[in-house]
Amino acid sequence: MKIGEFAPTFTSVKLRACIFLSLVVTFFAMNAEETGSRTTVGGGCFWCVDAVYQTVPGILRVTSGYAGGNVANPTYEQVCTGRTGHAEVVQVEFDPAKISYRQVIDLFWQAHDPTTPNRQGADVGPQYRSIILYENEAEKTAAESSKLEAQAHFKDPIVTEIVPLKTFYPAEKYHQDFYNKNPSYPYSEAVIRPKLEKFEKAVREKGPS
């Protein structure tokens, strides 16, 4: 075979190989999991966590609700019994151009005490447990990495659960944006406001991440 006859065949093989590799790369790029633009976390009474995240630049919406349990469409009264398996949580929607999933999770450790099992202050029960509910493996990895780094700032072990989100159930309307609508409520003055001030102070001292 002459060189002139072989060259086109060799070129064709190279071209097909390049096209194949390009398709493979595109396939994996399209199917690679990325962190989304929302997260669901629980750290005690959802009124507190809601108030904290609403002060963070880049947060678009915070919805109080229930997750992590096995009762469909639970009511507040049911969750308060501690027998539904659900935790009081907030679903935080954010602008990824202004704040990342990892940054939202990093702030979570400053929004509550993650070392007290089934408890935040005077609020006691499994519904007040510390929990992060992820929606894909990328979020799971980010949450676990954040938790590992956060441990260095706590004397006691972090007990936060990191589990997949099955279903998020929004809480009753009167729970939404509770602190901003009820700043003079006794719980707001005694619990939420001091926690909010502590959070803002911790963020200022830490500086931009």
Which of the residues are catalytic? 45
In the Cβ-directed half-sphere of 2, how many Cα atoms lie within 13 Å? 2
Whole-angstrom Cα distance, residue 112 to residue 110?
6
Q: Is the dihedral of CA 80, 115, 50, 144 positive or negative?
A: negative
Whole-angstrom Cα distance, residue 127 to residue 179?
19
